[in-house]
Amino acid sequence: MRLYAAFIYLFLYAPIALIVLFSFNAGRHAASFECCSTAWYPRTFQNTFLIEALTNSLIVAGTVATLATVMGTMAALALQRVRGPVRVAFDVLTYIAIIIPGIVIGIATLVALVAAFDALNPLIAALWPGGPEGAPRLNLGYGSVIAAHTLFTMALVIVIVRARIQGMDQSLIEASADLYATPWGTFRQVTFPQILPAVLAGFLLSFTFSFDDFIIAFFVAGSKTTLPIYIFSSIRRGITPETNVIATVVLGFSLTLLIAAQVLMRRRARGAGGGGAAP
């Protein structure tokens, strides 16, 4: 049984370990390893196209995660008070947003945005005070990727935060009100600390999803290149150890983020507990 488990972990993590190892390749091919050099690291970071793609991805993922977390948490809190058919309708819509394949979201968002832009751009041009020449044109770019990603990740946040709210003892809310806390005071001092782990989890998941999404971004990014799109196109040109370096850096970044979140949450718990005299 233990051997079986070991094999599963080997299957899961060996490729990841391998890609880290291969990022220290001395040779010129991504898949054949010659020991050992860090030469590809500086070379990778001097690649301005890559750096731009990475920056784009970070901007998009950061915005998406923030928007999705704020709106998703608010939606989850509001839905908690809704009962009956309205609640069922929202539940169904939330789950649909999650189970719809990314490619459908991509195409649908693309078609909808292009149709909307085609309708709106002449209107803006006609109404623009400085004449049609100087009028701004709505176009695919940051905004469209962020909108499409937020649509999906907000549903994720709603589901995660709702589960936490439902698991929460409702009498805590009543106890807080009973102890003179205003509704806002109750949210700030009881509800939010209780759902904070779920909110953080929702943020991290949204960030990760947006950061590594290829399909949706491929459709709606327009002229912008995100990191997954860049890697995909560089593979078509032939893989170099540069790709391994990118993967390793992204991996390191994700792990750092996760560990930081863990440490932060643990310190919070300990800090709040150490307020009084120890018995």
Partner 1 sequence: MGQTGERGIDVQTQATSDFDIEFRGVTKRFGAVTAVQSMDLQVARGGFFSFLGPSGCGKTTSLRMIAGFEQPSEGDVLIEGRSVVGTPAHRRPVNMVFQHYALFPHLDVFDNVAYGLRQRRPRPDRDTIRRQVGEALELVRLSGFEGRRSWELSGGQQQRVALARALVNRPTVLLLDEPLAALDRKLRRDMQIELQTLQRDVGITFVLVTHDQEEALSMSDTICIMRDGRIVQMGGARELYDEPANAYVADFVGKSNFIAGTARAGGGLRDPHGRGFGGRRPAGGRALGEGEKAVLAVRPETVAILPDGAASGGFDVALAGRIRNRIFLGEHTEYLVAVEGIGDMLALVPKLAEEERGSFGEGQAVTIAWNDRSALVLGDD
Q: Which stretch binds partner 1 (CB under 8 A): 9-17, 99-107, 110-118, 269-277?
A: 269-277
| Helix 85-99 and helix 142-167, axial crossing angle in degrees, nearest 10 | 130
Span 40-79, contacts to partner 1 by CB under 8 A: none
Q: Which of the stretches 29-37, 122-130, 187-195, 245-253 binds partner 1 when contact is defined by CB under 8 A? A: 187-195
Does 279 sit near partner 1 (CB under 8 A)? yes
- Residue 182 sits in the site that holds partner 1 (CB under 8 A): yes
Choice from 6, 8, 93, 179 touching partner 1 (CB under 8 A): 179
Task: Name the residue type at position 91.
Answer: D
Q: Binding partner 1 by CB under 8 A: which of 132, 193, 238, 252?
A: 193
Q: Is 174 in the site for partner 1 (CB under 8 A)?
A: yes
Nearer to partner 1, 186 or 206 (CB): 186
Asked if residues 49 and 233 have their Cβ atoms less than 8 Å apart, the reply is no
Question: Does 276 help bind partner 1 (rule: CB under 8 A)?
Answer: yes
Which pair of structure tokens corresponds to residue 130?
A: 């400085």
**Helical spans, DSSP H, in the chain:** 2-22, 40-45, 48-79, 85-99, 102-127, 142-167, 171-178, 183-186, 192-212, 215-220, 227-236, 241-273
Q: Do residues 261 and 200 touch, judged by C-beta distance below 8 A?
A: yes
Distance CA 94, CA 154 (A): 9
Structure tokens at 247: 């993967």
> Does 172 contact partner 1 by CB under 8 A?
yes
User: Alpha carbon of 143 to those of 4, 72, 154, 196: distances in Å?
Assistant: 47, 18, 16, 28
Retrieve residue 14's tokens.
Answer: 């060996």
Classified as helix, coil or strand, 260 is helix
Residue from 97, 234, 229 nearest 158 by CA: 97
Binding track over 128-167 against partner 1, x by CB under 8 A: ----------------------------------------
Under the binding rule (CB under 8 A), the answer on residue 258 touching partner 1 is no
Q: How far is the CB of 265 from partner 1 (least distance, A)?
A: 11
Whole-number CA gyration radius for the chain: 24
Q: Which stretch binds partner 1 (CB under 8 A): 77-85, 118-126, 259-267, 270-278?
A: 270-278
Binding range to partner 1, per CB under 8 A, among 129-137, 156-164, 173-181, 255-263: 173-181
Q: Is 272 in the site for partner 1 (CB under 8 A)?
A: yes
| Backbone angles phi and psi of 146, in degrees to 5 | -60, -45
Comparing CB distances to partner 1, the nearer of 83 and 137 is 83
Pairwise CA distance, residues 122 & 135, whole Å: 9
Query: Binding of partner 1 at residue 169 (CB under 8 A)?
Result: yes
Tell me: does residue 194 bind partner 1 (CB under 8 A): yes
- The interface region with partner 1, picked from 148-156, 168-176, 235-243, 257-265 by CB under 8 A, is 168-176
Angle, in degrees to the nearest 10, between helices 85-99 and 48-79: 160
- Binding residues for partner 1, rule: CB under 8 A, are 169, 171-172, 174-183, 185-186, 189-190, 193-194, 269, 272-279
